[in-house]
Structure 1
Amino acid sequence: MAPRGYSRAQIALHWAMAGLIAVNLIFEDWIKAGWESIEDGFGPVYDAGALAHIGIGVAVLVLVVLRLALRIGRGVPDLPAGMKAQERLAAHLGHAALYALMIGVPVMGLLAWFLASDDLAELHELGKPAFILLIAVHAGAAVWHQLVRKDGLMDRMRRPG
């Protein structure tokens, strides 16, 4: 049987990761000086901004592994009753895409940094608009469920179950 809501740990991980990802999206310039040094052939510069950006990326990777372990071990609440098959599919695909970004974007960033790869850096940079789009859709869907459908979907993330 599926749990009624997410656990305290799942909720904490969700919001911690949301905050970390937001910081790296908003303050992406932190790593620019270090990357420019790589592009100029001098190797990476490990200033405070680069260390913060890289550290947050590594933290996101560690936390997503914990999230996936909890998701597999504990499970997740069922989607609200009455959702159409297409809506359920969209929810599952949206979550899968978010998990793919939470893993892929930091991995691409780390590989770009340590391999000094412009191609991987460009892939990493594509993560920003992808994250922004998926986060907007994710938040929009949550608000829609709360205000329009009124099906209690957001309660799963507010109250441990």
Structure 2
Amino acid sequence: MIRNTPAGWGSISRWFHWILAVAIIGMIGFGWWVNHVPARPDRFFYRSIHADIGYVVLLLTVIRLAWRIGNPTPALPDDSRPWQNIAARISHGALYLVVILVAMLGWAHSGAHTPDYSSFFGLFHVPQFTSPDREAARAYEDRHILFAYVLLALIVVHVAAAAWHHYIRRDRVAVRMLTEDAKAG
């Protein structure tokens, strides 16, 4: 099934989830590495790659969010408590919000940094919405890093909730993101 159903995630939603999961976790690790590499001539190159992948993550996140809005969200099990439904909605909303915020702060940093990171893998230039400004670039970068850590914390909570559903509740909520057949097993 391509589209979501009330019982499970469709293949497009699962692909978006896993591609973005790998990309975002990779970007957090790569960003940490880039910021902890001693100053050297190729540092700008690595930061440019980080920015290019960030533009892709932002685009895919917006497309994924549009896809999610246009598809039903699979329900939690009937025996779930109301607070669990609220927590799931809040945590998923926070994940989307913070992914977009981190990417937008990175993009803002790109335009404020001199030289900017607008060259997309050398193919074309991504329009920038901020102007060169050293102090603004530092502020955007500081907030970009801060919210990347917030995002990492949200990912830890998300993974912990999936593990709780899988190993403690054994309600197959986590399995739905792995397989089409939510009732199997």
Give me the whole-angstrom Cα distance separating, in 1, the residues matched to 2:70 and 2:148: 30
Q: State which structure, 1 or 2, has the greater radius of gyration over its C-alpha atoms.
A: 2
Distance 1:29 1:146, change over 3 A: closer
Q: Which has the higher contact order (CA 8 A, sep 6+)?
A: 1
**Among the aligned pairs, what percent are the same residue?**
31
Q: Write the mapping of 1:82-101 to structure 2, written as runs, cut at 5 A.
A: 82-101=79-98
Matched, 1:18 2:2: no
User: 2:166 is matched with which residue?
Assistant: 146
Alignment match, 2:71: 74
Provide the aligned C-alpha RMSD in A.
2.3
Deviations 1:8-61 (CA, angstroms, capped at 9, x unpaired): 11111111111111111111156549xx89xxxxxxx88431221011111111
**Which digits, 9 at most, give the CA deviation of each residue in 1:76-116, with x for residues without a partner?**
21112211111111111111110011111010011012123
- The one-character-per-residue Cα deviations of 1:109-159 (angstroms, maximum 9, x if unpaired) are 110121232111111111222112111110011011111111110122112
Is 137-146 or 78-87 further displaced after alignment?
78-87
Gaps of 5+ in 2: 114-136
Matched, 1:132 2:142: no
Structure-2 change in CA distance of 1:47 and 1:146 (3 Å): same
**Superposition TM-score, scaled by structure 2 size:** 0.74
Match of 1:60 in 2: 57
CA contact 1:30–1:52 (8 Å) conserved in 2 = no
Larger helix proportion of the pair = 1
